Amino acid sequence: MIMSGYFKIQYVWRRLPGRYTNVMRNEAYLQKSLWKRPFHTKVTKDSSGLPVVHHSKYVCDIPANHRFPMGKFPKILLFLLRDQIITDKQVWTPDLASEELLALVHTEEYVDKFIHGKTSPEEQKRTGFSWSDGLATRCRYETGGTVLAAGIALQRGLACSTAGGTHHAFPSYGAGFCLINDLAVAAKYWMEESSQKRKVLIVDLDVHQGDGTAYIFREEPDVFTFSMHCGSNFPVRKQQSDLDVSLKDGLEDKMYLATVQAYLPSILDSFRPDLVLYDAGVDPHWDDELGKLRLTDQGLYQRDLFVIDTTVSRGIPVAAVIGGGYCNDTDRLALRHSILHRVAAQVWKKRSL
Ligand SMILES: [Zn+2]
C-alpha cells in the first residue's frame, strides 16, 4: 500500500459537541431557512426517519449500449421503499440547481456552454456523454440534490441523496461522466451561507481520485479534501488533495477498512469540520467494471458504517452521495449503492437523530 499526503493546516478549534442538535429542527424553521436559498423544496416530511433526497429526473435518456449505468438511480429508491428502509414520506425532492448556484464553482462561460449545449465535440467526448438537454437537466437536479442533502444534514445531522459524487468536473470543463461538481457546489454554498464561515470536509472514497474537487479547493483552507482511491485507476494525472491515500490494485476489505480507520478520525479531530460531505462510491467493489480494488458488499457496509457513525458520533453533520459504480446489471448495482442508505438508516436510529 502506498500512502502519501499532507495536511494543509492543522486546525485547533474548540469543538462544540452536539451543536446541531441545539438548533431548531422543526419543519417550519427548516422551510423558512430554505426559503431564500437558490433552490426550493417541498416540505411535507416525516421527521422521524432518515431524509433521502431523490428526483425522477436524476435519470435521462442515453444510448442503450452506453457504459454509464443510468438505470441505477430510480432503482436505488425503489429498493429502499420495497425493503421498507424508508417510506415515501422521507423522500425530499430537490429543485433544479440555478445558474447562479453552479457559478459558485464553475466559470460563467462553462455554465453557459453546459446549459445551452455549446460545448465542443472534444469537450463532450472528455465527459463521456453527448450533450442533450435531458443530460444538462439531470446534472442540475443531481447538484440540487446534493446541496439539499447537505442543508438537511446541517439541520438534522444526516441525509443521503440517491445520486451525486461527480468529482471529476473542473471549473471550466467536465470529465469522466462528471459535468458539474456537485460536491464542490454544495461545499462552497454551505460554507459561505453562514455568517460564521463553515468548515467542510469532503471524504471521497470513490475508487477514482476526486481530482476536480481537489483542484477547486486547492487554495481554500476551510475545505479539506480527503481522497482515498486506487492509484492505477482514472485519472492518470492526479491532482493534490489535502490528503491523498493511493491504494494498490486488488486491496481487500480488511486492509481497506484499516486504512480508513487510520486516517478519518485524526482528520475529524484536527480539522474539526462543521459539515462532512461523503462520496460513498461503490466502485471499489470486486465486481465493478472499472474499479481495481476487491471490496465485498460486507466491506462496503463496514466502510460506510465506520465513516458515518464515527462522524455523527462527534456531533458533525453528514450528507452522503452515492458516487460511482459500474455494472451492466443495474439491479445488482442499485442494491450495492443502497448499502449506503441502509447503513445511514441504522445510524439514524442508533443515534436517535
Ligand atoms: Zn468512480
Choose among 246, 247, 237, 245: nearest CA to 212. 237
Cα–ligand 1 centroid distance for 325 (angstroms):
6
Residue 1 lies in a domain: no
Q: Is the pLDDT of residue 233 over 50?
A: yes
Domains contained in the chain, number: 1
Cα–ligand 1 centroid distance for 207 (angstroms):
5
Cα–ligand 1 centroid distance for 176 (angstroms):
9
List pLDDT tens digits, range 62-109.
Answer: 998 999 999 999 999 999 999 999 999 999 999 999 999 999 999 999
Cα–ligand 1 centroid distance for 70 (angstroms):
14
Which three three-digit cell numbers place residue 141? 437536479
Cα–ligand 1 centroid distance for 7 (angstroms):
24
List pLDDT tens digits, range 124-159.
Answer: 999 999 999 999 999 999 999 999 999 999 999 999
Residue 291 lies in a domain: yes
How many residues appear in the chain?
A: 353
CA-CA-CA-CA torsion sign (330, 332, 335, 337): negative
Cα–ligand 1 centroid distance for 117 (angstroms):
25
Q: Is the pLDDT of residue 44 over 60?
A: no
Cα–ligand 1 centroid distance for 283 (angstroms):
6
Residue 37 lies in a domain: no
Cα–ligand 1 centroid distance for 24 (angstroms):
36
Cα–ligand 1 centroid distance for 186 (angstroms):
19
CA-CA-CA-CA torsion sign (24, 25, 28, 31): positive
Residue 33 lies in a domain: no
Residue 183 lies in a domain: yes
Determine the Cα–Cα distance for residues 269 and 271; give it in Å rounded to an integer: 6
Percent of the chain with pLDDT over 70: 87
Cα–ligand 1 centroid distance for 242 (angstroms):
19
Percent of the chain with pLDDT over 90: 84
Torsion over CA of 287, 291, 135 and 55, rounded to 10 degrees? Answer: 60
Cα–ligand 1 centroid distance for 288 (angstroms):
10
Q: What CATH number is associated with residue 124?
A: 3.40.800.20
Question: What would the DSSP string read from start to end of 93-134?
Answer: -PPPPPHHHHTTTS-HHHHHHHHHT---HHHHHHHTS---HH
Residue 25 lies in a domain: no
Query: What is the pLDDT at residue 46?
Result: 66
Cα–ligand 1 centroid distance for 67 (angstroms):
13
More confident residue, 9 or 130: 130
Cα–ligand 1 centroid distance for 179 (angstroms):
14
Query: What is the pLDDT at residue 48?
Result: 86
Range of the domain at 138: 49-350
Element (DSSP H or E) covering residue 70: none
Q: What is the mean pLDDT of the chain?
A: 89
Q: What phi, psi does 21 have (nearest 5°)? A: -75, -15
Element (DSSP H or E) covering residue 228: strand 223-230
Determine the Cα–Cα distance for residues 157 and 217; give it in Å rounded to an integer: 24
The answer to whether the beta carbons of residues 271 and 11 sit under 8 Å apart is yes
Residue 41 lies in a domain: no
Residue 98 lies in a domain: yes
Q: Assign 201 to helix, strand or coil.
A: strand
- β-sheet with 318-321: strand ranges across: 91-92, 52-53, 158-161, 318-321, 275-279, 200-204, 223-230, 243-247
Cα–ligand 1 centroid distance for 281 (angstroms):
6
